[in-house]
Structure 1
Amino acid sequence: MSDKVDVLEALKHSNVFLTGGAGVGKSYITNEVISDYRKRGKQVVSLGSTGVSAVNIGGFTVHSFFVFGIANNFEELAAGDKRAKKRLADLKKVLKATDLIIIDEISMVSTDLMEMIAYRLNNYGYLGKVLLVGDFFQLPPVQKQQNRNDVFGQKLYAF
């Protein structure tokens, strides 16, 4: 079986993490999955953890799509949500109609941001699958100012 077929088969039953080193075909497989879903009339949302990855995948940034604004944790999210009721109502409609969400460059998503994504998916009616794409040996999450001694040696990821 081809890698694309393997990923499509896995997505029938569960969420999928697609990983591999640079140049092994993650983007190719991702584009093939998107094409397959769309040929079958399925709705796909493509997201990038950064502006560059969003452009490369032909989608939105995680922050923009999930209406996070500049929030980086739940406290900041709650404050922003009070001002974004219309956009959040629209997000709920989109999530209910979406079959697959793809997040590219997942290694750049912090644990706080992953928790915020899970919150939106779980509380806004999302019933589809998630395809996470990236390589944890490449780019780590961008963090706000942190004491380097606090993070030295840590290898904590969101999932």
Structure 2
Amino acid sequence: MKTEGTTPEQIIANCPEERQEAMIRLRKTINDNLPEGFKEGIGYGMIGYAVPHSLYPAGYHCDPKLPLPFMSFASQKNFIAFYHMGLYANKELLDWFTSEYQKVSKTKLDMGKSCVRFKKPDQIPFELIGELVTKITPSDWITFYEQALKTK
């Protein structure tokens, strides 16, 4: 269950009240650390960050009208979800993140392929996420993405 809205502000305002502060802080953490070139927007009902067509005209292979998605976050039914495709595409980055997460969190990492789930807003390691956000530029992401497409 994603929160409704057509702007990041609307999505945050429509979140459960107990998650709004964490969502605001997560957005600020991402925007403060986001490498130049990514653009914030709404994708798949979430606040998302993508490589715009101005940097990658081919767009997303599943729907070339869309920019190349990279990262997003949302308030879902039972947790706040943070999606970072670099964790899925780059094993070294995943290994770094899982190792660092254990150092800064008292909770077990609840993670899918690119999704990190936080059941309680106070469990979000904002500084670690800020550092993670800095680690892949739009150019890096395009390279990972194109390599993955070639291996399909």
TM-score class, shorter-chain normalisation, is under 0.3
**Greater relative contact order (Cα < 8 A, sep 6+):** 1
What's the TM-score, normalizing by structure 1?
A: 0.25
The structure with the greater share of residues assigned to strand is: 2
